[in-house]
């Protein structure tokens, strides 16, 4: 722990932040005798907190910040996505690291939030510093929640303590106590933050409620499935449902949709909205009321810096499990739907399916991009000669183009925002929390939440309902989880969901497989494929993945244990 805050020299040795939330790099040192005497300085100090959220890739060594690149929350570590080389976390073969900034540096951030809140206690007019106080409460909860998701029990400290404080060398606090502190912090934040953001990209009270719905749902299901602690689980699940409902009733957010783009394309284009024309309807991110909190980017001021458009098709490969999870237009899974067309042709499995499948996965032979800044409803031969055409003959046989721009832009200069929290997640949090709490959910509750998400991309798909579930022998909880999975694919939720549901032990072992090759159109169209095949004739990308109970938490790094042996190692990693 000493190493975790080694760079904190004095209580006021923090960075003065630029007023623009597009620029979060330290600019100057705050003078100790002026830092906490003016309300404006609290806001300047709190600006740095906005640099701590997830992004496409982390701007520091904290891999927890990676939303799309490999990191603790990334789908690359789940059963839905593989890369060009094997991922040891996906394979279940990771070992105890010597060091891990995801532990140490987060306590530096906690120190900064504690520092602001401590000094706020003696500030005369609390109303003048209500917003930065709310931001400190929010981000302290945000960081602690990250720590709990990764490591479980962690040391809970709400004071900017000195380096030699005994608290920093003691035992870890129980994860439930830490989450309860997060819930309290987010409730405080909701009372302090404004009804609407002071400017784009800033927090408001509904941001706090949205994160609260995520935190309480996560720990509620963890307590239910890992600890059988139903009393605490139900309290948290009730908190999650109520927090989500607060956001839903606020009227501040709505799912991104445009008649000019249509159902499927509204979902796809939402992820690549910029401040310039980036779609055929001329919509920009200013038209998007779905993102509740986003990491902001701009082609000129702050480009993403990751070659994400090319990476989607050349480095991110969905698995067959993801493809099979998309329901058919009758609302049924492929093993129950008469609409499913099977695998005989290379693209037949796409027919009659959830439109999000077509929005995320590329069909073989699909013309999907021409980097000249024009959008087409029909493609001429001249267009075809200069266009990118999907070829899925490689890796898993599935390719994705979620996060891929269609406008003419230099590599790594895409300027769309990363959705840290979006409204669709809140709606899905609500549906899941209600069902987990009560063991049932009404059709009205489904129509007010989950079915809004489903219908955005699929106006003609049958909604999820109790009658649909009963008539077809479905499991309501499984359907709710499947809807969440396909909607939030590659946004950093899947592996955490498997962990909190305690289903990773079922879903993670085995092979990561791709398309059905044997006996289909792939066998003749892709005769030289070099992947191994499983017993069903599907290509194998990763083989012999394992999962041990210890993998539900990451191991603490050995250097932190040497500094503080009382931390204790997570179970199974001793």
Bridging pattern class, strands 538-545 and 532-533 = antiparallel
Q: Is the pLDDT of residue 264 over 90?
A: no
Q: 344 in helix, strand or coil?
A: coil
Q: What is d(CA 205, CA 212) in angstroms, rounded to the nearest whole number? A: 11
Q: Residue 372's pLDDT is what?
A: 63
Q: Is the pLDDT of residue 5 over 80?
A: no
Burial degree of 410 (CB within 10 A; 0-12, 13-18, 19+): exposed
CA 551 to chain centre: 19
Q: Residue 7's pLDDT is what?
A: 35
In eight-state DSSP terms, residue 22 is T
- Asked whether 31 and 393 are in contact (CB, 8 A), the reply is no
Q: Is the pLDDT of residue 31 over 90?
A: no
Q: What is d(CA 569, CA 452) in angstroms, rounded to the nearest whole number? A: 43
Q: What is d(CA 206, CA 212) in angstroms, rounded to the nearest whole number? A: 9
Closest CA to 281 of 296, 292, 290, 268: 268
Q: Residue 58's pLDDT is what?
A: 79
Q: Is the pLDDT of residue 18 over 70?
A: no
Averaged over 140-145, what is the pLDDT? Answer: 98
Percent of the chain with pLDDT over 70: 92
- Asked whether 361 and 320 are in contact (CB, 8 A), the reply is no
Which tokens in the block code for residue 168?
């920093």
pLDDT digits (tens, 9 = 90+) for 408-444: 888 899 999 999 999 999 999 999 999 999 999 999 9
Q: Is the pLDDT of residue 212 over 80?
A: yes
Q: Residue 304's pLDDT is what?
A: 94
Residue 375 — very low, low, confident or very high, per pLDDT cuts 50/70/90? low
Compute the C-alpha angle 289/294/296, nearest 5°: 110
Q: Is the pLDDT of residue 6 over 60?
A: no
pLDDT digits (tens, 9 = 90+) for 110-126: 999 999 999 999 999 99
Q: How many CB atoms lie within 10 A of CB 254?
A: 12
Averaged over 81-110, what is the pLDDT? Answer: 94
Closest CA to 74 of 531, 515, 491: 491
Higher pLDDT, 374 or 67: 67
Q: Residue 373's pLDDT is what?
A: 58
Query: Which own/partner pairs from 201-204 qualify as long-range (CB within 8 Å, at least 24 positions apart)?
Result: 201/21, 201/22, 201/50, 201/294, 201/296, 202/21, 202/50, 203/131, 203/134, 203/135, 203/138, 203/293, 204/252
Q: How many CB atoms lie within 10 A of CB 341?
A: 16
Which tokens in the block code for residue 262?
């249509």
For residue 145, how many C-alpha atoms fall within 13 Å in the half-sphere facing its CB?
28
Average pLDDT, the chain: 91
Residues, the chain, total?
574
**Cβ within 8 Å of residue 441, ≥6 positions away:** 431, 434, 435, 466, 476, 480
Compute the C-alpha angle 281/286/289, nearest 5°: 100
Residue 259 — very low, low, confident or very high, per pLDDT cuts 50/70/90? very high
Phi, psi angle pair for 515, to nearest 5°: -65, 155
Phi, psi angle pair for 388, to nearest 5°: -90, 130
Averaged over 17-33, what is the pLDDT? Answer: 36
CA 193 to chain centre: 23
Q: Residue 200's pLDDT is what?
A: 86
User: What domains can you pick out in the chain, each with its CATH number?
Assistant: 3-58+95-193 (1.25.40.890), 262-289+297-416 (no CATH)
Higher pLDDT, 62 or 158: 158
Residue 36 — very low, low, confident or very high, per pLDDT cuts 50/70/90? very high
Q: Residue 169's pLDDT is what?
A: 86
Q: Is the pLDDT of residue 163 over 70?
A: no
Q: Which residues of 383-405 are buried (b: 16+ CB within 10 A; e: fewer)?
A: eeeeebebebbbbbbbbbbbbbb
Q: Is the pLDDT of residue 530 over 90?
A: no
Q: Distances in Å between the alpha carbon of 310 and those of 399, 406, 472, 485?
A: 11, 11, 41, 24
Q: Residue 181's pLDDT is what?
A: 98
Percent of the chain with pLDDT over 90: 78
Averaged over 316-340, what is the pLDDT? Answer: 98
Averaged over 513-534, what is the pLDDT? Answer: 95
Compute the C-alpha angle 69/72/77, nearest 5°: 70
Q: Is the pLDDT of residue 27 over 70?
A: no
Q: Residue 14's pLDDT is what?
A: 37
Q: How many CB atoms lie within 10 A of CB 416?
A: 27
Q: Residue 15's pLDDT is what?
A: 36
């Amino acid at each position: 722990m000493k190493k975790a805050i080694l760079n904190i020299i004095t209580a006021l040795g923090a960075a003065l932040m630029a007023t623009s939330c597009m620029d979060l790099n330290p600019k100057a040192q705050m003078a100790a005798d002026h830092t906490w005497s003016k309300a404006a300085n609290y806001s300047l100090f709190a600006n740095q907190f906005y640099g701590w959220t997830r992004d496409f890739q982390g701007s520091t060594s904290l891999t927890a910040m990676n939303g799309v690149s490999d990191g603790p929350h990334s789908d690359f570590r789940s059963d839905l996505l593989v890369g060009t080389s094997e991922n040891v976390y996906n394979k279940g073969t990771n070992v105890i690291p010597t060091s891990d900034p995801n532990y140490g540096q987060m306590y530096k951030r906690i120190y900064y939030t504690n520092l602001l809140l401590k000094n706020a206690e003696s500030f005369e007019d609390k109303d003048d510093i209500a917003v930065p106080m709310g931001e400190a409460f929010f981000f302290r909860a945000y960081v602690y929640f990250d720590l709990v998701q990764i490591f479980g029990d962690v040391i809970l400290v709400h004071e900017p303590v000195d380096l030699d404080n005994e608290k920093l060398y003691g035992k870890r606090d129980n994860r439930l106590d830490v989450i309860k502190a997060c819930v309290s912090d987010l409730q405080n934040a909701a009372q302090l933050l404004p009804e609407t953001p002071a400017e784009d990209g800033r927090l408001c009270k509904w941001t706090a409620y949205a994160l609260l719905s995520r935190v309480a749902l996560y720990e509620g299901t963890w307590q239910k499935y890992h600890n059988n602690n139903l009393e605490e689980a139900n309290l948290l699940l009730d908190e999650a449902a109520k927090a989500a409902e607060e956001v839903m009733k606020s009227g501040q957010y709505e799912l991104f949709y445009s008649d000019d783009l249509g159902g499927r394309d509204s979902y796809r284009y939402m992820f690549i909205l910029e401040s310039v024309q980036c779609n055929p309807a001329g919509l920009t991110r200013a038209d998007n009321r779905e993102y509740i909190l986003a990491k902001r980017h701009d082609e000129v001021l702050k480009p993403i810096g990751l070659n994400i458009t090319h990476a989607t098709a050349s480095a991110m490969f969905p698995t067959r499990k993801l493809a099979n999870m998309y329901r058919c237009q009758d609302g049924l899974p492929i093993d129950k739907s008469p609409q499913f067309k099977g695998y005989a042709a290379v693209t037949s499995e796409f027919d009659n399916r959830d439109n999000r499948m077509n929005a995320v996965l590329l069909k073989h032979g699909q013309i999907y991009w021409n980097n000249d800044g024009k959008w087409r409803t029909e493609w001429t031969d001249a267009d075809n000669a200069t266009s990118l055409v999907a070829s899925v003959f490689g890796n898993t046989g599935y390719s994705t183009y979620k996060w891929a721009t269609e406008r003419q832009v230099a590599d790594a200069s895409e300027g769309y925002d990363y959705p840290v929290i979006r409204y669709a997640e809140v709606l899905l949090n609500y549906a899941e929390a209600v069902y987990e709490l009560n063991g049932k959910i009404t059709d009205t509750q489904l129509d007010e939440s989950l079915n809004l998400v489903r219908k955005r991309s699929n106006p003609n798909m049958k909604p999820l309902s109790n009658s649909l579930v009963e008539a077809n022998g479905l499991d309501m909880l499984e359907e709710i989880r499947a809807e969440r999975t396909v909607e939030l694919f590659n946004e950093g939720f899947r592996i955490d969901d498997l962990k909190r549901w305690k289903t990773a032990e079922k879903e993670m072992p085995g092979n990561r497989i791709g398309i059905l090759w044997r006996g289909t159109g792939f066998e003749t169209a892709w005769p030289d494929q070099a992947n191994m095949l499983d017993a069903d004739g599907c290509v194998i990308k990763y083989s012999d993945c394992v999962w041990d109970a210890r993998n539900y938490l990451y191991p603490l790094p050995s250097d932190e244990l040497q500094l503080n042996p009382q931390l204790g190692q997570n179970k199974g990693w001793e």
